[in-house]
Amino acid sequence: MQVNVLASGSTGNATFLNLGDTNILVDAGISARRIKKELDEIDVNVEDLDAVLITHEHRDHINGLSTLTRKYGVPVYARPDTWKAILDQAVAKDVPINCRVNMADSLDIGDVKVEPFSISHDAADPVGFSLYHRQTKCAVATDLGFVTEKVKKALAFADVVVLEANHDVDMLKQGSYPWYLKNRILSNRGHLANTDTGWTLARLARKNQCHTFLAHLSQENNRPEVAEKTVADILTGAGCKVGSDVTLHITYPDRATGLK
Ligand SMILES: [Zn+2]
Ligand SMILES: [Zn+2]
């Protein structure tokens, strides 16, 4: 399995996953040119993508979708209500019809089984994904205000988890965002705080070794070292060995982080 978070954060999200013989991109929130460039860097041909899976319709997850589909004809899977919300936006309304696929509750893409799961976020029908190939599992959940039982189940026993660690609560509260935006982020349909992410991982039913990418860090209300320390401290306090039981990887808005 190979996982490369090509970009992560409110300026654009895209994660490349290779399981078995199947190449999947979760979200296309950076330009098609950047997606191609980042895939070139890891010796993956953009034409070899088997599918793009869309979590939800916010701009930072679909910015590159139109060009990517028109240029390379890659099939895109999204929930029906998410498609409606995507096609309402000028940035993505010209995704070719033959590239649009309605995402079922469970789907097979090549030799990968994909199970979308609902997440709590202010979008039409937002989802995360559990992906399975033989004994290997990867789970992706960004943009969620609250970790439900369903999400905990979806993340359980994954070899690799991509999980949001959006903000430090104090930095957000003391920061410059207007109150309505602070409230939106802090709400159950907003984004996860570093402490939420830490406790989720600490209480997660895990395999012996789990790699976790801390994703969708706010540039305004978080810092990579703050996110990593907060999560690591909670894990350590819960008796988990950071670096062996759970290995943390930070993600960035402007460069890729990977694991092979
Ligand atoms: Zn987002
Ligand atoms: Zn969002």
CATH classification of the domain holding 177: 3.60.15.10
Quick one: pLDDT at residue 141? 98
Q: Which domain holds residue 18?
A: 1-104
Do 90 and 179 share a structural domain?
Answer: no
As beta bridge partners, residue 249 has 213
Q: Would 129 be classed as within a structural domain?
A: no
User: Ligand 2 centroid to 57 CA: how many Å?
Assistant: 7
Which tens digits make up the pLDDT trace of 125-155? 999 999 999 999 999 999 999 999 999 999 9
| Residues written for the chain | 260
Quick one: pLDDT at residue 114? 98
Quick one: pLDDT at residue 106? 96
CA 142 to chain centre: 4
* Confidence bin at 251 (pLDDT 50/70/90): very high
Q: Which residue has the tokens 């950047």?
A: 34
Single residue among 52, 72, 104 that ends a domain in this structure: 104
Say whether 18 sits in a helix, a strand or coil: strand
Which tens digits make up the pLDDT trace of 198-250? 999 999 999 999 999 999 999 999 999 999 999 999 999 999 999 999 999 99
Say whether 43 sits in a helix, a strand or coil: coil
* Confidence bin at 78 (pLDDT 50/70/90): very high
User: Ligand 2 centroid to 94 CA: how many Å?
Assistant: 21
Quick one: pLDDT at residue 250? 98
User: Ligand 2 centroid to 60 CA: how many Å?
Assistant: 7
Q: Would 64 be classed as within a structural domain?
A: yes
Instruction: Share the mean pLDDT of the chain.
Output: 97
Single residue among 56, 85, 104 that ends a domain in this structure: 104
The ligand that comes nearest to the alpha carbon of residue 145 is: 2
Quick one: pLDDT at residue 260? 87
Which tens digits make up the pLDDT trace of 164-203? 999 999 999 999 999 999 999 999 999 999 999 999 999 9
Quick one: pLDDT at residue 57? 98
Do 232 and 159 share a structural domain?
Answer: yes
Residue 108 has pLDDT above 90, yes or no: yes
Contacts of 181 (CB under 8 A, 6+ apart): none
Containing 220, the helix (H) or strand (E) segment is: none
Quick one: pLDDT at residue 159? 98
Q: Would 139 be classed as within a structural domain?
A: no
Do 157 and 97 share a structural domain?
Answer: no
Single residue among 81, 104, 127 that ends a domain in this structure: 104
Do 180 and 88 share a structural domain?
Answer: no
Do 246 and 149 share a structural domain?
Answer: yes
Q: Would you give the DSSP letter of residue 46?
A: G
Torsion of CA 259, 150, 124, 163, to 10 degrees: -20
Q: Would 164 be classed as within a structural domain?
A: yes
Q: Would 256 be classed as within a structural domain?
A: no
User: Ligand 1 centroid to 213 CA: how many Å?
Assistant: 15
Q: How many domains does the chain have?
A: 2
Contacts of 18 (CB under 8 A, 6+ apart): 1, 2, 3, 24, 44
The answer to whether 2 and 258 are in contact (CB under 8 A) is yes
Q: Would 124 be classed as within a structural domain?
A: no
Q: Would 110 be classed as within a structural domain?
A: no
Residue ranges with CB less than 5 Å from ion ligand 2? 58, 143
* 194-202 and 224-237 helices, crossing angle to 10°: 30
Which tens digits make up the pLDDT trace of 15-48? 999 999 999 999 999 999 999 999 999 999 999 9
Quick one: pLDDT at residue 194? 98
Q: 62-94 burial, b for 16+ CB within 10 Å, e for fewer?
A: bbbbbbbbeebebebbbbeebbebbeeeeebee
CA distances in angstroms from 98 to 70, 75, 94, 112, 235, listed in the order given: 10, 8, 11, 22, 45
The answer to whether 158 and 210 are in contact (CB under 8 A) is yes
Do 242 and 160 share a structural domain?
Answer: yes
Quick one: pLDDT at residue 120? 97
Do 85 and 153 share a structural domain?
Answer: no
Q: Would 113 be classed as within a structural domain?
A: no
The ligand that comes nearest to the alpha carbon of residue 120 is: 2
Do 176 and 91 share a structural domain?
Answer: no
Quick one: pLDDT at residue 35? 98
User: Ligand 1 centroid to 55 CA: how many Å?
Assistant: 9
In whole angstroms, give the CA distance from residue 206 to residue 181.
Answer: 34
What radius of gyration, in Å, describes the C-alpha atoms of the chain? Answer: 17
Q: What percent of the chain has pLDDT over 90?
A: 98
Phi, psi of 53, deg, nearest 5: -105, 130
The answer to whether 256 and 5 are in contact (CB under 8 A) is yes
Quick one: pLDDT at residue 59? 97
Do 153 and 70 share a structural domain?
Answer: no
Average pLDDT of 86-112? 96
